[in-house]
Structure 1
Amino acid sequence: MKQLTHISLTARMRIALALLWMLLLVLAGWAVSQRLELSGDLRKFMPSARTPEQKLLIDELGEGPGSRLLLIALSGADASVLAAQSTVLRARLAAQPQFELVANGGELGFEAIPEHLRPYRYLLSPTLDAQALDAATLRDELDQRVQDLGSPAAALIEPLLANDPTLETLKLAEAWQPANAPQRRHGVWFDRAGREALLAVQTQAAGFDPTGQAAAVNAIRTAFAAVHGDSGSKLTLSGPGAFSVEIGGRTAREASLIGTLDTLVFIALLWLAYRSWKAPLLGALPLASAGLAGLAAVALAFDGVHGITVAFGFTLIGVAQDYPIHLFSHQRAGLSPWASARMLWPTLGTGVASTCIAYLTFLVSGVDGLEQLAVFTIVGLATAALTTRFVLPALIDPAPRDAADSARLARLWARLARWPRFGAGAFALLALAAAAIVTWAPGPFWQNDLAKLTPVPTAALARDAQLRGELGAPDVRYLIALEARDAEAALQGSERLLPALQQLRATGALAGFDLAARYLPSAAIQRARQARLPDAVALQTALDSALATSPFRGDAFRGFVDDVARAKAAPALTVRDLAGTPLAASVGGLLLERDGHATALVALSGLTDPAAVARVAQQHGARLLDLKQASESLVAAYRERVLWALALAALLLAATVWVALRSPRRVLRVLAPMALTTLLILAVLRGFGVELNLFHLIALILAAGLGLDYALFFDHAGDDRAEQLRTLHAVIVCSLTTLLVFALLASSSIPVLRAIGGTVALGVVFNFVLALLLVRAPIVKTAAETADA
């Protein structure tokens, strides 16, 4: 490479080298794509949970039933048509592997309980807690069955009779319906108005698996397309998974649009700035190299690359587009591109090193996602800088136009000469005013509510709340948690809590609840019920007595006697025995077994008196968890780590600039615009009532990097008028490209993109102006300019 600096390549050779670079990028892109495994688990961007509430929040958001619940409403046709469609849709979805549970209220009957669990029905049901399975009970039940067989329910009852004359199967199926199940019309769930058929679907994919959730959503839409025909019915799909798919799709569309506009802006501005079609092409090569190098580094260093790392990473390394622009703008006749790159390198290298140091602090954040972001950004920026320094000069025309010869630029610079330079007094006054606004602006300073960051439309959230109310879905904010040494102890504890919950429901403190013990009693309860079951001889004697006055044949219920005998001798049913059954989904979401302990959860709905519920839970050794409060404390903990990382970054950045400049005055002059810009951005955001979130903080780092870059190059120019003009040209092109890109982001409907875009756009404007007012050396006017003045 050193020998290349002394060789002037022909135009054809430069084109060939550029094509070779592009070919290498294509090959590298293919190689990276083979190893790249994208992840969508947002828990990688969360700090380690410290409290039980935070741990439960992370588990529930990712794996809990709430995150995997999709709500379906069918509307726009007659109730009978919608009911038929609901039945067919449920059957289609239940047969697909993407779903653990599909419920529409029509799954009552013998098939509701898997065959191998049917003998356990008397151990799972509370029926015999208050009565014995004796001749009197059996006689009453058989008399009732005779009446049932003469009713419209005969078709449902008849297949159950031989094995289950007491209809315990149906009683259990009814009991296992949601605690506040909606009304049933035509055999399936409907809303209170009777206009919408309702279904509840639980996905196999976790809430943090966007690919799995997208597959589930697509399966539902495909199944509905095959079901609705020309009936005119409509499908409404809601829930976290549906929202994440919608958000992902909208984000991808907006990112694609913004990326396309960004590319067009970059090409247009570089063509206008340098009057050459080569400039956009050559300027993009270091940036493309940076992105691929960053992706490769993260793919090698981590198990999977998070989608947010890719999205934010490419945004944050956008500052790398400035590096070739500085090289282009500082070209001049008589100086080879290699010499120009060598002269710029101390300044460019200082800026790159300082920015990388800022991101280096993320490596000690303890958050996997931030560590990925740090690796991506540091490797990307370093690659862009090194390729600009050691490869790009070989491709540049050695006889360029000199920006210092531009009459238009000279006139602009002359006007800027009239701007008063900022002194220490003006700087202090502006800083104090900004600090005052930041400190005393009304409203909360930090945004801790994650719900306010969602781009889900208000109407969609309201529709989701309405469907949850109709279906009696559990509250997504409150849960009761009962910790125990194992699943059996957790089930026993929740059984002791059950009467108190029933009392709370009776007093209106809550509308409903759901807990694992409703589906799977503790082994202690099951053994007690086994003890109350009669043995085979006693049961047969009681059954013969009941049959004496019944129209049923004497041998009609042998299956029933056999089932009871198996139940009396069987081991207690456990969570593991439910694997592969519909009960596994219900129990698994409410009974968590991890790390040698178990947690029984009570899902609540219609909670109106949290204080009363919290008191009752505490009296029974449990706790009412507020997941909203847990999420806010988690965000606060995350922010605290980021702020400490930023404080460390600021110290390291100042030290780097000191090492490079070795002059207290120059160091202060270079750091001042960046520091004041940060204050001014905060003042503007706070002044307009914006509550700051984590994405504002990340954007402030990017804005600070840009400010340092502008200040370093104005400092590098000194009082050399030609260098001042070249620097002005470079900074104008850099700031315009960056400003337009982030202004587009600021107009996004996605809150995260809007926060980053608005923050960086403000930073570009403030950094540019303050770099001129604080850093530029006094402008030396030409004789002609002096005469004009």
Structure 2
Amino acid sequence: MTATWRTVLAVAWLALLVLAGWLVSQRLEMSGDLRKFMPEPRTPAQKLLIDELGEGPGSRLLLLALSGSDPETLAEQSQALAAALSADGKFEFVANGGDAGLEAIPEQLRPYRYLLSPTLDRQALDAAYLRDQFEQRVQDLGSPAAALVEPLLPADPTLETLKLAESWQPANAPQRLHGTWFDGAGRQALLVAQTSAAGFDPTGQQAAYDAVHGAFAQARGATGTQLTMTGPGAFSVEIGGRTAREAQWIGTVDSIGLILLLLVAYRSWRMPLLGVLPLASAGLAGLGAVALLFQSVHGITVAFGFTLIGVVQDYPIHFFSHQRAGLSPWDNVRALWPTLATGVVATCIAYLTFLFSGVDGLQQLAVFTIAGLGTAALATRFALPALIDPSPRDPARSPGLARLWRAITRLPQPRWPLLALAVACVAVVVLSRGPFWQNDLSKLTPVPADALARDATLRAELGAPDVRHVVVVRGANPDAALRASEALRPALDALVAAGALDGYDLAARYLPSSATQRARQVRLPDAATMRATLDEALAGTPFRADAFEDFLVDVERARRAPPLRPSDLAGTPLQASVEGLLLAGAEQSTALVSLGGLRDVAAVAQVASAHGAELLDMKQASESLVAAYRGRVLAALALAAVLLAATVWLALRTPSRVVRVLVPMALTTLVVLAVLRGLGVELTLFHLVALILAAGLGLDYALFFEHAGDDRDDQLRTLHAVIVCSLMTLLVFSLLALSSIPVLRALGSTVAIGVLSNFVLALLVARHPHAESGTTAPPPGARA
């Protein structure tokens, strides 16, 4: 085939990839929901944790701080920012302490104030009470508060609306300066915004993040005010941006380095371009398979998947390094195919076990990797031979490579030193101090320590509740859960009085149960009685007799209205407060009691248990969930190791050959673990995934050294291929190890250590003693 036809075929292949990319993009739906990488929750605490991670109000909360200007300016800007965000549909509610939270009670709910307020539980709505309230209103109208009170008077002479708004303020709310929340030092204006989008909806959170910055730019004007924003959504957006920036520079350096390496290795500009085709085919096949089999593709799957299928670059490199004049490319790839196929099958088996892990994210990763590896191998076997120059430069004729190989052959092939190395590695792993596993769920989300510190500071200033402990009360339906949580209030009040905790919050604080609302309705006078009572109370006051007709209408509406239910709060600020503490399920509803300043865990747990509730430790739940996840992964790895060994045995069928292939991989795993533990690294899921990749690379190196047999020329070509492969892989993962993102750093450092160890051990263990001429080599395809 002429060079022109080879170019035409390469362009046609590239065109097919472009078309396939467009088709995949039409179906591909990305997801950022971390729950896809979590195992199925088993305990109530784990189920609550998983729900809260993705959909709960905590995952949708943005904490904002304005600083850098004088308090008066910051207060004005806080009000402007709150007004702009409140009018934006991307946010369910925005609070900054303004108007004492009066905005939390929209006009349509105000007639229900006597059903929501506890006033009627201890005070009758009689003439004496109303007269006392009217006397207080006269004083209010002569005070600076007149502008706030006067609009409320016709419908609410008792100011029940203001009482409710004040009672709904956070138990440990920050101080108010100039009508808005400020930190303790008075230097930062504080706001809280809850997004409509879930915390791990990257598109929705990005839109909310941009909306905050846009509104802040308008509110700031020409001042030097600065915005600090934290919370799960802000973290996901900022980390996503940082990941994209790092991926861009790492990808750029990788691409330049790989192109230069291939140019130096093969002295041809065609090889780097042709080598990209199987890799691109693998990536598109992986994406297409996941998009076809799953509703959405997790971003971690794509990031890990493209990193893992980077091993497919090895397939064309082995093919290129073994091509030489006088050998048909088809004969060349046919001779390499048994060894290449063995490595592909073994690696795919390792990831196949993830399909049985019960974790959606790992199943996606398995499908992506298997589809990618298989496609790249088949592309190398059946398409690439038609495109390459059949008579390239033969690496076996390189003087420099020959000198290097002679030096390598002088190295002994150790036996007992390998056993000593294994024992030393085990000793380091066992004797290293510190926890072996990292059980902190937050380590799965690579939030920098300084960002976590800022978040903790803002949460403390805003009086946020304890996120570790929560009391859970269950009921057959939302109203039953509300009623059960109301029964807890006297005991919780006693705990606050005793100093066991500073405060608490629950949905019944905003929306009492139907029974409580009906009991308050009974205490409301009928229309005739209410009018007579009002006339009696107004006697002798400066108010006109007809000034409070709206009040009479509201009382009668509240007396006849059906009790408010959670669904009635839709579209109001109260919706967010109630939904965050009342979880309605298909079979059971759960009311949450958040705790602030918890000091006596045992006392709270005892009170909860005595009232049919439960105190959950969310930290313990997260750690048990991570442990369960790790158990699934380790079980999959154990099965993978057995199947991998079986695959190599079926391919080689000789004990000595099987040992030469498996020993470097097994020892490398121990070496990597020893290095990480010796450096005090606590192992995470990402280290385990990286170990699988390192094992797959080691298996490939050893298989090809074993495949070369004792033929000197084949050994030189294999050495050339493995050097190029290992340098490419080392470049990619060394750059990842330099990343500021802990996940990428863990992946990169683990594989980089594994590549170095695999290369050295495969050379020492898997290579055959060579013959001085190539005549003793078995015919192509005779070795697996």
1:608 aligned onto 2:599: yes
1:467 aligned onto 2:462: no
Distance 2:195 2:539 in 1: 50
Structure-2 residue corresponding to 1:696: 687
Q: Which amino acid is 2:434 matched to? A: G
Deviation at 1:506, TM superposition (A): 2.6
1:210 aligned onto 2:202: yes
1:508 aligned onto 2:499: yes
Distance 2:265 2:226 in 1: 53
Q: Deviations over 1:714-747 (max 9, x none)?
A: 0100101110000000000000000111011111
Structure-1 residue corresponding to 2:264: 272
1:364 aligned onto 2:348: no
Structure-1 residue corresponding to 2:229: 237
Structure-1 residue corresponding to 2:626: 635
1:437 aligned onto 2:422: no
Residues 101 and 169, structure 2, Cα contact 8 Å, conserved in 1: no
1:484 aligned onto 2:475: yes
Map 1:670-685 → 2, pairs under 5 A: 670-685=661-676
1:336 to 319, 328, 331: 328
Distance 1:460 1:35 in 2: 35
1:564 to 552, 555, 559: 555
Q: Deviations over 1:598-652 (max 9, x none)?
A: 1000112222332222222222221121111111111110110111111111111
Map 1:588-603 → 2, pairs under 5 A: 588-603=579-594
RMSD: 1.3
Structure-2 residue corresponding to 1:126: 118
Distance 2:250 2:552 in 1: 71
Match of 1:463, SS state, is: helix
1:293 aligned onto 2:285: yes
Q: Deviations over 1:520-543 (max 9, x none)?
A: 001111111111111111111111
Match of 2:65, SS state, is: strand
Distance 1:117 1:753 in 2: 51
1:220 aligned onto 2:212: yes
1:86 aligned onto 2:65: no
Structure-2 residue corresponding to 1:144: 136
Residues 320 and 385, structure 1, Cα contact 8 Å, conserved in 2: yes
Q: Which amino acid is 2:409 matched to? A: A
1:58 aligned onto 2:20: no
Match of 1:648, SS state, is: helix
Structure-1 residue corresponding to 2:708: 717
Structure-2 residue corresponding to 1:664: 655
Deviation at 1:248, TM superposition (A): 1.0
Structure-2 residue corresponding to 1:184: 176
Q: Which amino acid is 1:501 matched to? A: L
Residues 95 and 101, structure 2, Cα contact 8 Å, conserved in 1: no
Distance 2:608 2:202 in 1: 35
Deviation at 1:503, TM superposition (A): 2.4
Distance 2:258 2:350 in 1: 26
2:246 to 254, 260, 274: 254
Deviation at 1:457, TM superposition (A): 3.1
Q: Deviations over 1:291-312 (max 9, x none)?
A: 0111111111111111111100
Deviation at 1:511, TM superposition (A): 2.3
Residues 110 and 160, structure 1, Cα contact 8 Å, conserved in 2: no
Q: Deviations over 1:442-471 (max 9, x none)?
A: 111101112345443333222211111111
Map 1:304-315 → 2, pairs under 5 A: 304-315=296-307
Distance 1:615 1:210 in 2: 40
Structure-2 residue corresponding to 1:4: none
Distance 1:111 1:367 in 2: 43
Q: Deviations over 1:78-126 (max 9, x none)?
A: 2111111111111100010110010011144765412221111001000
Deviation at 1:172, TM superposition (A): 0.7
Match of 2:466, SS state, is: coil
Map 1:34-53 → 2, pairs under 5 A: 34-53=26-45
1:68 to 60, 81, 84: 60
Q: Deviations over 1:450-502 (max 9, x none)?
A: 23454433332222111111111122222111122111221111111112222
Residues 455 and 749, structure 1, Cα contact 8 Å, conserved in 2: no
Match of 1:180, SS state, is: coil
Residues 205 and 237, structure 2, Cα contact 8 Å, conserved in 1: yes
Gapped runs of 5+ residues in structure 2?
775-784
Match of 1:778, SS state, is: coil
Q: Which amino acid is 1:133 matched to? A: L
Match of 2:589, SS state, is: strand
1:536 aligned onto 2:527: yes
Distance 1:463 1:84 in 2: 23
Distance 2:224 2:156 in 1: 42
Distance 1:239 1:610 in 2: 26
Distance 1:287 1:458 in 2: 36
**TM-score normalised over the length of structure 1:** 0.97
Residues 711 and 773, structure 2, Cα contact 8 Å, conserved in 1: no
Structure-2 residue corresponding to 1:195: 187
Q: How many residues align?
A: 774
Deviation at 1:781, TM superposition (A): 4.5
Distance 2:101 2:616 in 1: 36
Residues 109 and 156, structure 1, Cα contact 8 Å, conserved in 2: no
Match of 1:477, SS state, is: strand
Structure-2 residue corresponding to 1:705: 696
1:416 aligned onto 2:408: yes
Distance 1:66 1:109 in 2: 20
Identity of aligned residues (%): 71
Q: Which amino acid is 1:342 matched to? A: R
Q: Which amino acid is 1:413 matched to? A: W
Residues 507 and 592, structure 2, Cα contact 8 Å, conserved in 1: yes
1:15 aligned onto 2:7: yes
1:383 aligned onto 2:367: no
Match of 1:476, SS state, is: strand
Residues 69 and 202, structure 1, Cα contact 8 Å, conserved in 2: yes
Residues 109 and 169, structure 1, Cα contact 8 Å, conserved in 2: no
Residues 491 and 521, structure 1, Cα contact 8 Å, conserved in 2: yes
Detail structure 1 runs of 4+ shifted over 6 Å in the superposition.
Answer: none
Q: Which amino acid is 1:308 matched to? A: I
Gapped runs of 5+ residues in structure 1?
1-8, 784-789
Match of 1:47, SS state, is: coil
Deviation at 1:237, TM superposition (A): 0.8
Residues 52 and 59, structure 2, Cα contact 8 Å, conserved in 1: yes
Match of 2:92, SS state, is: strand
Distance 2:699 2:102 in 1: 72
Structure-2 residue corresponding to 1:5: none
Distance 2:252 2:5 in 1: 30
1:154 aligned onto 2:146: yes
Distance 1:411 1:178 in 2: 76
Distance 1:610 1:258 in 2: 48
Distance 2:167 2:110 in 1: 15
Q: Deviations over 1:586-607 (max 9, x none)?
A: 0001000112111000112222
1:620 to 611, 616, 620: 611
Structure-1 residue corresponding to 2:96: 104
Match of 1:503, SS state, is: helix
Distance 2:52 2:447 in 1: 20
Match of 1:71, SS state, is: strand
Deviation at 1:782, TM superposition (A): 6.9
Distance 2:12 2:101 in 1: 69
Structure-1 residue corresponding to 2:575: 584
